[in-house]
Amino acid sequence: MISDQERQRRKHVCLLHLKIYVEHQEHDTHLFRNLVDSWYAYDRGGPLLHKSGRPKWLNNPDPAKKGDMLRFMTYKSVEAMKRINGDVPGRVVKDHVIPLSRLEKIVCENPDASIEAIEEALRRCYRVAIITKEEHDRLSGEGHRTMMPGNWKNADNPFVRYHAADIQLHGDPAL
C-alpha cells in the first residue's frame, strides 16, 4: 500500500500531464481517459488502487469479484446495486456521468490551463456512475451514451442523461 503522501504526489503528476495535454491541444480521448481516471483513483484512494499503488480499472467489472470496489463508487443505479449486492445476476458498467468527450472540452476550452483550474474543473464535472449494461444501452438508444443533451450547459444538472433514460441513481443525487 502506498502512503497518502505518495498518492497525492501521483495525483499531482496526473494533473501535470493534463496541463501538458491542454497546453499542447492534444485530442486523444484514450489518453485523456487514462489521465482523468488515474487522477480520480489517486484522489479517492482506497479500493480504487492496487497494493502497488497503481489505479484499478473498472472495465467490464464483475460485481461478484469487485463488489467492495463498486460499493466504494459514489454513484450507482438502483438496478446496479441489486447486481453488486448479488440479488440479481448480470453485468454492470462504469459510465462517466458527463461523457469524456464533453469533459475533455470543459477542461481544454478553459483559457486558464493552470493545475488549479484543471483540478477545479475535474472536481466540478468528473463523476462516474455504476449502471447496468441494459441502462447503458438505454443511454445509447436515447442518443446520450457519448453526448450530453444539446442544450446542456456546464453548470446544469450533470445527471440529466440518466433522467432522460429513466435511470434512477441510488440516493437520487441532483435528479
Domain residue spans of the chain: 4-164
Provide the pLDDT confidence category of residue 172 given band limits of 50, 70 and 90. low
What is the pLDDT, as a whole number, of residue 148? 81
Cell of 102: 464533453
**Using one digit for the tens of pLDDT, what is the confidence trace for 101-114?**
999 999 999 889 99
Distance CA(114)–CA(56), nearest Å, equals: 27
What is the pLDDT, as a whole number, of residue 175? 45
- The whole model's pTM is what? 0.90
Q: How many residues would you count in the chain?
A: 175
Distance CA(162)–CA(136), nearest Å, equals: 9
75 burial class (0-12, 13-18, 19+ CB within 10 angstroms)? Answer: buried
Look at 174 and 122; give whichever has higher pLDDT: 122
Q: What is the mean pLDDT of residues 156-165?
A: 87
Residues 6+ apart with CB under 8 A from 142: 161, 164, 165
Q: Which residues pair with 131 in a beta bridge?
A: 93
**Measured between alpha carbons, how far is residue 37 from residues 9, 99, 142, 164 in Å?**
15, 12, 25, 25
At 94, phi and psi to the nearest 5?
-85, 125
What is the pLDDT, as a whole number, of residue 174? 53
